[in-house]
Every structure is written in C-alpha cells, then in structure tokens.
C-alpha cells in the first residue's frame, strides 16, 4: 500500500441491505453509485476518517467494523480501502451526493451488470454480495 489512503464505508442495514450513494462529480463518475467515504486526513486512522466522512456526507454516526479484503490502487498515489459499518445515529441523507439508495443483493448485481457502480468499487462485489445475502 502506498501514498495516501481513501476509505469507503460498506454500510449495511439490519435487514440485509447496502447503502449506495450516487456521485455528483467529477464528470467521469457523475451519476454512478459508490460506497460513500473520502480521504484519510493527517493524524486519523481509517476508522476515524470514515466516521468523519459519513457524518459530513450522510449526516449519520456509524460504528465501524473490520476491513474488506480487497484494496484498490487509484491514480494520484491513492489507495482505496473499505470498512464495514452500521448506522448508530441519525437517518442518512444525501448532503454531498445526488441520491442515496439501500440495495438488496439482487439490486446490487443488476446495477453492477449495467455499469452503474463506480469502477474501483466493483472489486468489492463478491464480498458485498456474500455479506448482504447472508443477512
């Protein structure tokens, strides 16, 4: 792993859905759906960064769990990782995204098949499908 880290949240609900957020920018990925998150700042660990990002982007408090196995080397020396999370305070709303959506595993598969998921995040599809279909 090199450079700076970007952390995304695999936020799951008690009824086995996954929270996806639709990006507004930049043009290459605008309209596509991602696991919400952002860059880890100096002095933060990934879990702290994710809690901060999800407060800023979704207006919720989350409890952060373990890391998903896969990571992605993005451009600009950024490494993208994901952490499991669940909401412990608030109702998510799209502060910085255009929309939010809680998806089932079937909906996730359909969105992936139609190219609606941001490219980097597709590495997590197998892990996400396993976890959310398992309830």
The single residue listed with the structure tokens 């098949």 is: 113
The interaxial angle of helices 105-113 and 125-133, nearest 10 deg, is: 160
Region near ligand CDP per CB under 6 A, out of 11-19, 60-68, 103-111, 117-125: 117-125
Comparison of 8 and 18: residue with beta carbon closer to ligand CDP: 8
The 47-86 contact track toward ligand CDP, x by CB under 6 A, reads: ---------------------------x---x-x------
CA distance 100 to 93: 7
* 120: contact with ligand CDP by CB under 6 A: yes
Q: Is 103 exposed, middle or buried (0-12, 13-18, 19+ CB in 10 A)?
A: middle
Contact (CB, 8 A) for 33 and 107: no
Query: In the complex with ligand CDP, which residue's Cβ is closer, 29 or 103?
Result: 29
- The answer to the question of residue 20 lying near ligand CDP (CB under 6 A) is no
């Amino acid at each position: 792993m090199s450079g700076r880290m970007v952390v995304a949240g695999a936020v799951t609900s008690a009824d086995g859905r996954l929270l996806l957020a639709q990006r507004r920018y930049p043009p290459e990925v605008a309209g596509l759906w991602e696991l919400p998150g952002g860059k880890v700042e100096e002095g933060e660990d990934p879990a702290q960064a994710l809690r901060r990002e999800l407060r800023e982007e979704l207006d919720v408090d989350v409890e952060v769990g373990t890391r998903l196995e896969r990571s992605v080397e993005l451009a600009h020396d950024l490494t993208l990782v994901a952490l499991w999370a669940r909401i412990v305070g608030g109702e998510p709303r799209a502060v910085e995204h255009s929309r939010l959506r809680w998806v089932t595993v079937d909906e996730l598969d359909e969105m992936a098949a139609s190219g609606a998921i941001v490219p980097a995040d597709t590495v997590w599809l197998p892990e996400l499908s396993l976890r959310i279909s398992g309830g």
